[in-house]
Structure 1
Amino acid sequence: MKNSLNKGGKIALIGAGSWGTALAILLAGKGYAVCLWGHNSDHVDKLISDRENKKYLPGSLFPVNLQVVHPLRQAVENASLIVMAVPSHAYRRVFAAMVPFLMENCRIVSAVKGIENTTLMTMTQVMSEILTTQSDIPKNIQLGVISGPSFAKEVALKVPTAVTIGFKDLAVAKEMQQVFVTEFFRVYASSDVIGLEISAALKNIIAIAAGVCDGLGYGLNTRAALITRGLAEIQRLGAAMHAEAATFAGLSGLGDLLLTCTGDLSRNRTVGLKLGKGKTLDEINGEMDMVAEGIKTTLSAYHLARKMKIEMPILEQVYNILYQGKSCSEAVKDLLTRELKVE
């Protein structure tokens, strides 16, 4: 049975941070009935009363057909499309709680850029595992991902943006492409789900490294070299996981990598910038309201690369800075003095 999502169809947006809110506003702006859910009841109450996410996305008012709800069941029930925008460390718990309420034939899109620490799974892999192990689940649920260079603030302001949406079934990806596309939000379709997820998750780690170099006062030459070699590392891991090479030259790969390594709105670059200027990770975490996925993903990706025997020297040095207490300047020195290679 085919899923059909017309303008009367219901969409659930799970996660009321900046990105979840921006996507909820975008979809509601197209006329869909959107339910936005957040885990923090006080925050949800503010969203309901203010009709605006003043904490994470101030200035972007909610369309009338965007409803904010408390109970997860109320958000998910009868939704033809569910967009997941919760942090990777909470993803499994939230998704498992949703499963009993999922309708048959629904589409679920992960908008999360991370890898689970304990299992080293991407978010669609986490969902697939839960759906195959949890009893009494609906059938024919399609799992996908949306990714690309897209700061939430700019999407909410209708700044021209391009992203990619991926499902293993390209026909479903094209169906969802039509749901998300607007005159300012261009959407490409792909069937390379794993490639989109790996590139989206790992670019955050390279962005931390780029921020470190900027914080240390290095120049544009350094940043360009880091982005280029960072992309090579991401491609290396992606190839080992049977991703398509073209994905890494696309919006979710090179596009998102460039944005996250250079944009002032990048939370992950900001983490690296502060590390390079001498702040500790505990100090940085204490100053941030929103999650920088690259911190936790560094841990996951480091162990995933070791498990798959993939050489990723930039990733290794970011891991050493974040989790082994290595100084930023020493990490850069060790990168530059490695054994010479053929490109």
Structure 2
Amino acid sequence: MSDQKKTICIIGSGNWGSAVSKLAGESALAQPDKFEERVNMYMYEENFEGQKLTEVVNQKHENVKYLPGVKLPENVVAVPDVVEASKNADVLIFVMPHQFVRETCKRMKEHVKDTALAVSLIKGFDLHPETKGKIAMISNLIEDILGIDCCVLMGANVAPEVAAEQFCETTIGCKTKEQGYLLKSIFEKPYLRVSLCMDIDTVEMCGALINVIAIGVGIVDGMGQGHNTKAAVLRLGLMEMVKFGELFIQDCQKITFFESCGMADLVATCYGGRNRQLGEAVVKSDKPIKQLEKDILRGQSFQGPLVAKEIHEILVERNIVERFPLFEAIYKICNREMEPTEFINCLRCHPAHKFSRKARPSMFFY
């Protein structure tokens, strides 16, 4: 990356995208020698109380629909055209539902600087006929379409708490120290501490799988179970995360699971994330997932059910479904193929409870 001033663009404008725009806008103002002042935020246009949402955001400097009550810096500008928003950017911050990334990148492809750096804050996998039976990272999808490097940022970062400047940590997975330090200068604040990690794929995988486990915790809440049961879901979920990494991530480093992207994000998402809300709602309501999204999220998407489906399809393709009973049970409950009451039986019979004296290739028994 050159020493010229960098232009920042955020691709996405939900509650997390808006919180990130606050971080980026403040950093651009605080470091005028490093960043251009204006920060574009691509926002899918929609109406809000009879006005275009982009116009409301630019007038009030607040995302009144997805992050109400939080003032955004005045140098953050909502732009409804993704090409217009991103064409001059040196740093592209992707924070949008993962199912829309492919088409969005295709629209941007001919207009992005070939020297730009992307960073994905997106939790999910890319399921495509070409990647059947494989883990396809969203960061790799961005790289393949745009022809630029893509780092990742994952951590225990519940958006309203970050926006309220409550202390937290996060993890940036990067390819070089230079990339990591550039991104750190955008995201790090006195209340947001950033760690750099070269284990990009594991960092990104953690972010995707955690949303599925959070649904499991919500199922437990919906059934009226207590903290002990939730702790079991977190423990067994973490074990399946590590097992998944061992099978699908080349050179997966177990220490990465102890970064903010791993254990910390697991705790934060399972106790404060919206996918936990979904798990509880699935137990208490017979409505389909799409209707629950409309009722709970006001237009945003639950990523957990989509990732659960993607995991299921990968495990079926590899014929190893039985090795991940927690993930599989959550998928079936979301798909209304299993009664939520069966979830406790899944925990009770989990293979992690079995003891083996045989030599084992992994850190766990099953």
Above 0.5 in TM-score? yes
How far residue 90 of structure 1 moved from its aligned partner, in angstroms, is 0.5
Which of 239, 242, 248 lines up with 1:232 in the alignment?
Answer: 239
Matched, 1:328 2:328: no
1:125-136 correspondence runs (5 A): 125-131=140-146
**1:231-257, CA deviations, whole angstroms, 9 ceiling, x for partnerless residues?**
010111112212221111211010100
Do 2:12 and 2:42's aligned partners in 1 also have CA atoms closer than 8 Å? yes
Q: What is the alpha-carbon root mean square deviation over aligned residues?
A: 1.8
Aligned residue type for 1:17: G
Which of 178, 181, 186 lines up with 1:174 in the alignment?
Answer: 181
**1:159-191, CA deviations, whole angstroms, 9 ceiling, x for partnerless residues?**
112101111224322332222211111111111
Q: Which residue of 2 aligns with 1:35?
A: 40
Do 1:117 and 1:297's aligned partners in 2 also have CA atoms closer than 8 Å? no
Q: For the residues of structure 2 that align with 1:170 and 1:298, how far apart are their CA atoms?
A: 33
Which of 60, 81, 86 lines up with 2:91 in the alignment?
Answer: 81
Q: Which residue of 2 aligns with 1:260?
A: 269
Task: Structure 2: state its 5+ residue gaps.
Answer: 30-36, 47-51, 356-364
Q: For the residues of structure 2 that align with 1:3 and 1:273, how far apart are their CA atoms?
A: 49
- Structure 2 residue matching 1:59: 3-state secondary structure: coil
1:103-182 correspondence runs (5 A): 103-118=113-128, 119=131, 121-131=136-146, 141-182=148-189
Aligned residue type for 1:64: E
Calculate the TM-score normalised by the size of structure 2.
0.85
Go from structure 1 to structure 2 and tell me whether the alpha carbon gap of 1:115 and 1:61 turns closer, same or farther (over 3 Å shift): same
Q: For the residues of structure 2 that align with 1:81 and 1:74, how far apart are their CA atoms?
A: 14
Go from structure 1 to structure 2 and tell me whether the alpha carbon gap of 1:10 and 1:221 turns closer, same or farther (over 3 Å shift): same
How far residue 59 of structure 1 moved from its aligned partner, in angstroms, is 1.2
How far residue 332 of structure 1 moved from its aligned partner, in angstroms, is 2.4
Q: Which residue of 2 aligns with 1:285?
A: 293
Q: For the residues of structure 2 that align with 1:106 and 1:127, how far apart are their CA atoms?
A: 12
Calculate the TM-score normalised by the size of structure 1.
0.91
**1:51-94, CA deviations, whole angstroms, 9 ceiling, x for partnerless residues?**
21011111111212111212222211221101001101101111
How far residue 318 of structure 1 moved from its aligned partner, in angstroms, is 0.5
Do 2:13 and 2:43's aligned partners in 1 also have CA atoms closer than 8 Å? yes
Q: For the residues of structure 2 that align with 1:68 and 1:278, how far apart are their CA atoms?
A: 36
Percentage of identical aligned residues: 27
Aligned residue type for 2:143: S
Q: Which residue of 2 aligns with 1:61?
A: 71
Q: For the residues of structure 1 that align with 2:228 and 2:319, how far apart are their CA atoms?
A: 29
Aligned residue type for 1:45: E
- Structure 1 residue matching 2:96: 3-state secondary structure: coil
1:201-216 correspondence runs (5 A): 201-216=208-223
Q: For the residues of structure 2 that align with 1:102 and 1:3, how far apart are their CA atoms?
A: 16
Q: For the residues of structure 2 that align with 1:276 and 1:100, how far apart are their CA atoms?
A: 46
**1:304-324, CA deviations, whole angstroms, 9 ceiling, x for partnerless residues?**
233345521110001111124
Q: For the residues of structure 2 that align with 1:123 and 1:57, how far apart are their CA atoms?
A: 25
Q: Which residue of 1 aligns with 2:104?
A: 94
Task: Structure 1: state its 5+ residue gaps.
Answer: 132-136
Matched, 1:317 2:325: no
Go from structure 1 to structure 2 and tell me whether the alpha carbon gap of 1:338 and 1:14 turns closer, same or farther (over 3 Å shift): closer
Do 1:117 and 1:299's aligned partners in 2 also have CA atoms closer than 8 Å? no
1:298-313 correspondence runs (5 A): 298-310=308-320, 311-313=323-325
